[in-house]
Amino acid sequence: MEQVLEVKGLKTYFYTEDGVAKSVDGVDFTLSKGKTLGIVGESGCGKSVTSLSVMRLVSEPAGKIVDGEILFNGDNLLAKTEKEMRDIRGNRISMIFQEPMTSLNPVFTVGNQINEVLKLHQGMTTKEATLKSIEMLKLVGIPLPEKRVHEYPHQLSGGMRQRVMIAMALACNPALLIADEPTTALDVTIQAQILELMKDLKERLGTAIMLVTHDLGVVAEVADEVMVMYAGRVVEHGAVREIFAKPMHPYTQGLLKSIPDISEEVEFLETIEGLVPNIYEMPAGCSFAPRCKHAMDACRERQPALTYDGGHKVRCFLYGDASEGEVG
Amino acid sequence: MSKDVLVEIKNLKVHFPTGDSGLFGRSKQVVKAVDGLDFTIRKGETLGIVGESGCGKSTTGRAMLRLIEPTEGEVLFEGRDIMNLRKGDLRGLRREMQFIFQDPYASLDPRKNVASIIGEAFKAHEKMSAKERNERVQELLGLVGLRPEHVKRYPHEFSGGQRQRIGIARALALKPKFVVCDEPVSALDVSIQAQVVNLMKELQQKLELTYLFISHDLRVVKHISNRVGVMYLGAMVEIADKQDLYAAPRHPYTRALLSAIPSPNPEIRRERILLQGDVPSPVNPPSGCRFRTRCPEATERCAIEIPALKDVGDGHMVACHYR
Ligand SMILES: Nc1ncnc2c1ncn2[C@@H]1O[C@H](COP(=O)(O)OP(=O)(O)OP(=O)(O)O)[C@@H](O)[C@H]1O
Ligand SMILES: Nc1ncnc2c1ncn2[C@@H]1O[C@H](COP(=O)(O)OP(=O)(O)OP(=O)(O)O)[C@@H](O)[C@H]1O
Ligand code: SF4
Ligand SMILES: [Mg+2]
Ligand SMILES: [Mg+2]
């Protein structure tokens, strides 16, 4: 299978007044052509920072990629100059941001904004670009694209703006699409439309997709693989069916159980007690240990490694030798 | 009125002026945020309200407590019409009807510590010594699962889930009978959501509370409610016992809405009804049935006649000509 993205040992830290935030602290994953990787986890666990790191858009100087490799089609992005990155962004790798209104420019028409990308990366003339923009708007299911192309973002509904964002992100037929909570701000009926659209595009264009979301339902619908993050690290990674049928990490198990099940009636929901640790005061050992029902002494002293079990990876001492792993 | 009804809403309307004038500037345009609602809430139950953004859920909740003034209609609380109450009497009513807000970040005054946020309610309503007040605050904190030493802290020192607990403690301070909960867990992480939902259920049993629970999360609403009402563009299109509603939705909109919930089980794939287009503007809602512009079953009659909300059996109410 053709590997589009390979992230190895990525560490992205923020140096702030309160201390060092190890927002992404050793993340590894790969993504193949035409596949969708869902990234889930609690607020603040490092999903967006991982995405921004791949785009090389981490806000400097506070934020810095301190270690690791990001291979895009075998090419290390961390060795690229800013100019080289500008050629890649919006062209070979595109990102859809969480809030569509902040990432569309209010003073330009929708067409202008898509045209800009096409002219920059594909060297099209305005006329060619406009035709292509209309085609893209049609592709993402916007009615009357010939008319909409001349409208401003505020004239569109939230769902339509999100479609425009997708159209713009796909205009140059990128090999990798990073979507950070692309449907969180949308209603379920509109979300359903957008998810259908993303599934369809992945099949038709073979785009590899990194999909960040906090909604496990969304992941189950569209992703092939899931990566669960907790406090800056990957705690579990595997095929969607595997993880939903047989979650291994206690955090993933707790997360799945705490979603109310529509087809079942229970008096009380299962919960994960406690809170995510403060990013500036990470516990020694497994970062989930303070909330984990199964925590053993070793869990409070050593960091479990991400271990394999037939393609399904998990970072937990319940599945491996607790005498291994890093101290502290 | 039957004995077990706590709140009854009749023909509730809330129209907001838009600031834009209509065609030729003759008449002011209005946003028909809530446009003729009828429903009842029974003592001790949780009535869930769902529907897409902008359909009027929050406006309904706020109007019921007169946090905003309704344009028309009646809200009967234990048989008394609260629309006719004067300011002084309204204050008494606020003891019995409370509100929990969506945003745990914005709804607490950042300059006040927990003791004064929660204690404030007593100041306005009860003659109490500082010592008594302090005891009550401690009691409330315990009730919502916070620790005694938390009284001196300020909102920014808490997590989202903890802040929502403070909001709940504040709402419960005066032992209300009825609480409108407007998206109380929407801003929280899944694992924290479950903690707060459990807490709300536990408190309901302990204190015999009645809830109006507003949310766009159809899973959470199913879990916490006894009955569920579905709103579309300022109107109620269906209301029923939750088992009935989720197992056998009748209105075409409810069907589409429920079919759109992404299932967290990859083995379960429901037949999805994809709706076309977007929700129309509440300034100019469609004639007849408001849902007709997106309804897969709409006929000519739907553009002319407004379907009434009618009982199709066992208290299952639907507003559609063809049900
Ligand atoms: N510019 C920054 N300066 C300092 N800390 C930051 C910065 N950006 C992110 N962080 C911290 O890094 C951690 C990871 O943040 P990130 O935005 O990746 O979380 P997330 O998983 O996307 O969460 P959410 O689900 O809330 O979007 C958080 O603790 C956050 O506070
Ligand atoms: N103070 C106001 N002035 C003018 N229009 C308003 C006002 N408050 C609400 N609206 C409008 O009334 C309609 C209903 O709003 P409301 O906040 O009740 O919706 P909602 O169902 O709670 O939506 P959400 O799920 O997004 O919270 C919307 O069209 C909204 O823009
Ligand atoms: S009344 Fe007509 S338009 Fe409205 S829901 Fe029923 S079939 Fe659809
Ligand atoms: Mg994020
Ligand atoms: Mg609302």
A262:B218 CB<8 A: yes
User: Is the CB of residue A97 less than 8 Å from the CB of residue A180?
Assistant: yes
Identify the pLDDT of residue A140. Answer: 83
Residues A116 and A233 in one domain: no
Q: A21: Cβ below 6 Å to ligand 1?
A: yes
Q: Looking at the structure, do residues A160 and A67 belong to the same domain, yes or no?
A: no
Contact B278 A241 (CB under 8 A): no
Residues A150 and A216 in one domain: no
DSSP per residue over B90-118, as a string? HHHHHHHEEEE-S-TTTSS-TTS-HHHHH
Residue A97 belongs to a domain: no
Q: Is the pLDDT of residue A323 over 60?
A: yes
* Predicted pLDDT of residue A280: 87
- Dist CA A124 CA A112 (whole Å): 13
The dihedral formed by the CA atoms of A87, A91, A93 and A94, expressed in degrees to the nearest 10: 120
A203-225 pLDDT per residue, tens: 888 999 999 998 889 999 999 99
Task: Provide the mean pLDDT of chain A.
Answer: 90
Whether A166 and A40 map to the same domain: the answer is no
Tokens of B301: 């009659």
Best of A11, A49, A59 to mutate for ligand 1, by most ligand atoms within 8 A of CB?
Answer: A49
Among A158-162, B142-146, B217-221, B236-240, which is the least confidently predicted range? A158-162
Q: What atom in ligand 2 is closest to the CA of residue B183?
A: 27
Work out the pLDDT band at B84, boundaries 50, 70, 90: confident
A278 versus A152: which is more confidently predicted?
A: A152
Q: Quick check: A259 and B219 CB within 8 A?
A: yes
Indicate if the pLDDT at residue B145 is higher than 60: yes
Protein residue whose Cα sits closest to atom 28 of ligand 1: A44
Q: Is the pLDDT of residue B135 over 70?
A: yes
Q: Specify if A59 maps to a domain.
A: yes
Asked if the model's pLDDT at residue B287 lies above 70, the reply is: yes
Query: Would you call A235 helix, strand, or coil by DSSP?
Result: strand
Mean pLDDT of the region A158-181: 89
B contact set with A (CB within 8 A): 52-53, 159-161, 189-195, 197-198, 201-202, 216, 218-220, 222-223, 246, 256-257, 259-268, 272, 274-275, 277-279
Q: Supply the CATH number for residue A214's domain.
A: 3.40.50.300
Using the mean position of ligand 4's atoms as its centre, give its distance from the Cα of residue A51 in Å: 9
Q: Percentage of chain B with pLDDT > 90?
A: 59
Q: Atom 6, ligand 3: which residue's CA is nearest?
A: B320
Same domain, A86 and A221: yes
Q: Taking the model in full, what pTM does it have?
A: 0.89
Tell me what pLDDT residue A114 has: 94
**Which tens digit of pLDDT belongs to each residue from A275-316?**
888 888 888 999 999 999 999 999 999 999 999 877 899 999
Q: Are residues A135 and A276 in the same domain?
A: no
CB A34 within 8 A of CB A201: no
Instruction: Tell me, in angstroms, the distance from the centre of ligand 5 to residue B68's CA.
Output: 14
Let me know whether A241 and A212 are in one domain.
yes
**Which residues is B28 bridged to in the sheet?**
B21
Residues A181 and A292 both lie in one domain: yes
Given a cut of 80, whether residue B2 has pLDDT beyond it is no
Residues of B in contact with A275 (CB under 8 A): 159, 161, 192
- The pLDDT tens digits for A33-48 are 999 999 999 888 999 9
Give the pLDDT score at A26.
95
Distances (CA, A) of A24 to A209, A234, B122: 20, 9, 46
Closest among A252, A274, A186 to A39, alpha carbons compared: A252
A27 pLDDT more than 90: yes
For B8-25, the pLDDT digits (tens) are 999 999 999 876 555 555
A161 located within any domain = yes
Distance B197 CA to ligand 4 centre (A): 24
Instruction: With CB atoms and an 8 Å threshold, state whether A244 touches B257.
Output: no
What's the CA-to-centroid distance between B58 and ligand 5, angstroms?
Answer: 4
Q: Is residue A217 part of a domain?
A: yes
Residues A7-23 have a mean pLDDT of 94
Interface of A with B in 177-236 (CB under 8 A): 187-193, 195-196, 214-218, 220-221
Q: What is the pLDDT of residues A110-123, one digit of tens each?
A: 999 999 999 999 99
Residues A79 and A117 in one domain: no
Can the peptide bond before residue A61 be classed as cis, meaning omega within 30 degrees of 0?
A: yes
The answer to whether residue B158 scores a pLDDT higher than 70 is yes
CB contact (8 A) between residue A215 and residue B262: yes
A164 part of a folded domain: yes
- From the CA of B62, give the closest atom in ligand 2: 18
A324: confidence class by pLDDT, cuts 50, 70, 90? low
The Å distance, Cα B56 to ligand 5 centre, comes to 7
- Taking contacts as CB-CB distances below 8 angstroms, the residues of chain A near B218 are 188, 262
Answer with the one of A170, A188, A210 that is the final residue of a domain.
Answer: A170
What's the mean pLDDT when you consider all of chain B? 90
Q: Establish if A258 belongs to a structural domain.
A: yes
Average pLDDT score over residue span A20-28: 95
Per-residue pLDDT reduced to its tens digit, A286-295: 999 999 999 9
From A154, A170, A186, the end of a domain falls on: A170
One domain for residues A72 and A36: yes
pLDDT at B75 over 90: yes
* Beta pairing class for A233-239 and A225-230: antiparallel
Q: Which of A8, A7, A11 is nearest to A65 (CA)?
A: A11
Q: Which residues of B touch A191 (CB under 8 A)?
A: 260, 262
Q: Please give, rounded to a whole number of angstroms, the shortest distance from the CA of B188 to a CA of chain A.
A: 9
* Cβ-based contacts of B219 with chain A (< 8 Å): 259-262
pLDDT band for position B277 (cuts 50, 70, 90): confident
Which of A123, A139, A170 delimits the end of a domain? A170
Confidence of residue A99 (pLDDT cuts 50, 70, 90): low
pLDDT value at A322 more than 90: no
DSSP state of A303: E
CA of residue B104 to ligand 5 center, whole Å: 14
CA distance A69 to A7: 6
Residue A11 belongs to domain spanning: 3-92+172-327
Test site for ligand 1: of A23, A60, A229, most ligand atoms within 8 A of the Cβ: A23
Tell me: do A161 and A177 sit in the same domain.
Answer: no
Q: Name the nearest CA neighbour of A304 among A291, A289, A322.
A: A322
- Residue in B57, B164, B191 to test binding to A, most A beta-carbons within 10 Å: B191
Between A69 and B84, the more confident residue is A69
DSSP string for A10-55: EEEEEEETTEEEEEEEEEEEEEETT-EEEEE-STTSSHHHHHHHHH
Q: How many domains does chain A have?
A: 2
In a domain, A98, yes or no: no
ipTM over 0.90: no
pLDDT tens digits, A237-260: 999 999 999 999 999 999 999 999
- If asked whether residues A184 and A300 sit together in one domain, one would say yes
Q: Tell me: the pLDDT tens digits for A46-83?
A: 999 999 999 999 988 899 999 999 999 999 999 999 99
**How is residue A15 written in tokens?**
């140096």
Sign of torsion over alpha carbons A88, A90, A96, A101: positive
Partner residue facing B197 (CB), from A191, A256, A269 = A269
Residue A27 falls inside a structural domain:
yes
Does B105 have pLDDT greater than 80? no
Q: What share of chain A is helix, strand, coil (3-state, %, to 5)?
A: 35, 25, 40
User: CA-CA distance, B182 to A101, in Å (whole number)?
Assistant: 25
Domains of chain B: 5-318 (3.40.50.300)
Task: State the amino acid at position A115 in one-letter form.
Answer: N
Looking at ligand 2, which atom is closest to the CA of residue B231?
21
